[in-house]
Amino acid sequence: MVKRLIALSLLVVIVPASMAFAGERDYRSPFSIGMGARELGKGGAAAAGLSNAGAIYWNPALLAFGDRPEIQLFHTNLFMDTRYEFAALSFPTLSSGGFGLGIGDLSSGKFDRYENYLPTGEFSSRQNIVIAGYGFSPLKRLAFGVSIKGVLIDIDDYRGSGFGFDLGAAYAAGFFDGLTVGIKATDLMGPKVKLNEIQQRYPSAFRGGIAYDKKFTNVSMSLNFDIENSEKGGSDIYTGGEVGISDILFARVGYMGERATFGGGLAYSGIKFDYAYLGLDDLGTSHRFSLSYSFGGSVSQRRAAHENRIVADKIKEYDDKAKAESRQRLENQLAEARELEKQSDPYKALAAYYSVLGLDDQNAEAAQKIDSLFGRIKLDISRQASNSYIADLIERQLSLGDNYLEKRQFDKAAQQYGFVLILDPQNQNALKNSAAIDSIKQAQLVRDRATAREAIQAGNYRRALEALDDILLIAPDDQQAQQGRNQIYKIIESNKHLDKALRYYDQENYQAALAQTDSALALNPQSEGAKGLKHRLAQYTAKETTLEDIKHNAEHWQIYLQGMDKYQSGDYEKAIELWRSLQQYYPNNPNLKRNIEQASDRAGKR
């Protein structure tokens, strides 16, 4: 009987909602145990640097930094037949932040009920929590989050429920790669639960944390430190670290309050199993387990693919727009020529059809109309009763051409002088001014083309675009200028992808860097920067090879052995040269990389 009374007392301690009988004093939420064996193995320090489904519990802002959808299941047995379980789901999106859902259950088995020291039956306890969270990133490295929670408590014949919410923020430092800072306010306006006429509120708590993650070729590490201050007073420190090997095997150690924690994990193909050990002083030990599964494509890869589609659509849009504009100019010019012909103005109609041939030199309708109109113009001139009519017509056309020339509207001026030369092929004014127009235009085109070339060589693409636009003002159908402008747009977009690739490379996110590099080369195959970066990425992204792969090629194996001979004889530079020549065929070969590193170290010590 005494043992059962002790069990009941301990149950009351672990289930704070049942402490309503103690008066108005606040107690921590029963769900402050935490969730996720990985985080608990690191001492429960997880306010920053977390990107899995556990973010719904530790800091909702971190949902915005998730890369793949994940489901996580957590289980631990406490003492006296008390179990704690939590299931969490996170779903990151391309542009709308990350969403999360968590469900927790804290339950205890059957306990004897006593009234007046006499047994009257049995009772059990169950507390449930449901959390819905959302994290969003208004700026590239800054995220905010909110989670809303509902709590249901069922103890014997007493039931109560309440609602509350958490707020969080996180910042991934750009000045120090791998460093993340996070803060979380827990149970703001915490759930108020009423049992047996007495209402109790979960106390608020404020936690700040810092995390540092670093990934090397085959080894990763993370360090976390959190400090939490509860409304009920006092501060707690949580800290821990993790070392991973090949993203498969993990070992963890941490410090939670006054207790040490230990843990480990295994991961393979999106499935992770984690374990944490925590001592509970006089209450024994606690073993905590998590199983998680990441599914679907990564957000970074989907974002890169999405950006590639946007670039491809933009290029197609540029090309389609240029073709549509060319077709529209052709149709407009044809319509104008037909209208002038209908108005019995053969001279202007003739010029309009010439403009059509300038846009499409294979246009059969324009060529046929030009032949026909020339015949009509000659016949009209031969029928005039006097030369005064022709002279007057020439004078009017010259005056109109001079007016256009003064306004530097060269195309219209040339058109008028062309009419004059049809009537009087030897007219000196028309010949002189037509030649001047051609000279001015050609000189300007030469200057603009030179400016465009120099700007492109200097990488000043904005100035190059201005020069090409000037060319197109003078010669709207200049194919070289149109192609040059389209190519510059592609170079600009290519450079944007290359900048992203370099940032990913610095962050050691080699797959994302490779996707951006491929996009850059698709737009600008001549980009030396992109080609060089892809060559460097090959040693991280290519399939790992072994010595056996080199042995399969007799010529390559001889080169490898020659390098070994040079290394043994102390000719480290030659050994490095030979081994590097093999890296173009075996870019991700750990033997070659190790040999080159060792030879470089020895060469530097001489």
Report, in angstroms and rounded to the nearest whole number, the Rg of the chain calculated over CA atoms: 39
Separation between Cα atoms, residue 328 and residue 256, nearest integer Å: 73
pLDDT at 232: 72
The domains of the chain, with CATH numbers, are 2-297 (2.40.160.60), 304-489 (no CATH), 543-606 (no CATH)
Separation between Cα atoms, residue 564 and residue 582, nearest integer Å: 13
Separation between Cα atoms, residue 414 and residue 421, nearest integer Å: 10
Handedness of CA 60, 66, 68, 71 (dihedral sign): negative
Q: Which helix (H) or strand (E) holds 324?
A: helix 299-342
As beta bridge partners, residue 300 has none
Are 271 and 52 a contacting pair, CB within 8 Å? no
Q: How far is CA 52 from CA 37, 88, 312, 535, 582, in A?
A: 12, 9, 32, 32, 40
Separation between Cα atoms, residue 500 and residue 511, nearest integer Å: 12
Separation between Cα atoms, residue 398 and residue 415, nearest integer Å: 10
The residue written with tokens 């693919």 in the block is 305
Handedness of CA 320, 321, 325, 328 (dihedral sign): positive
Separation between Cα atoms, residue 88 and residue 100, nearest integer Å: 7
Per-position DSSP letters for 117-136, written without gaps between them = TEEEEEEEEEEEEEEEEEEE
Q: Which helix (H) or strand (E) holds 83?
A: strand 82-92
As beta bridge partners, residue 82 has 108
Residue 274, CA atoms < 13 Å, CB-side half-sphere: 28
pLDDT tens digit sequence for 455-472: 888 888 888 888 888 888
As beta bridge partners, residue 279 has 285
Contacts by 390-393, CB closer than 8 A, 24 or more apart: 390/423, 390/424, 393/423
Q: What's at 43, amino acid-wise?
A: G
pLDDT at 25: 38
pLDDT at 370: 72
Are 574 and 559 a contacting pair, CB within 8 Å? no
pLDDT at 74: 96
As beta bridge partners, residue 267 has 272
**Prediction pTM value:** 0.53
Are 237 and 258 a contacting pair, CB within 8 Å? no
Neighbours of 5 (CB within 10 A): 13
Are 435 and 457 a contacting pair, CB within 8 Å? no
**3-class DSSP assignment, residue 201:** strand
Are 434 and 414 a contacting pair, CB within 8 Å? yes
The residue written with tokens 């309050």 in the block is 257
- Averaged pLDDT in 10-residue chunks for the chain of 606 residues: 38 38 47 88 90 91 91 87 91 90 88 74 84 91 93 80 90 85 88 68 89 88 93 85 93 90 92 89 75 85 74 78 84 88 79 77 78 69 58 76 76 78 83 82 84 85 84 80 84 88 83 86 87 79 80 90 90 91 82 88 72
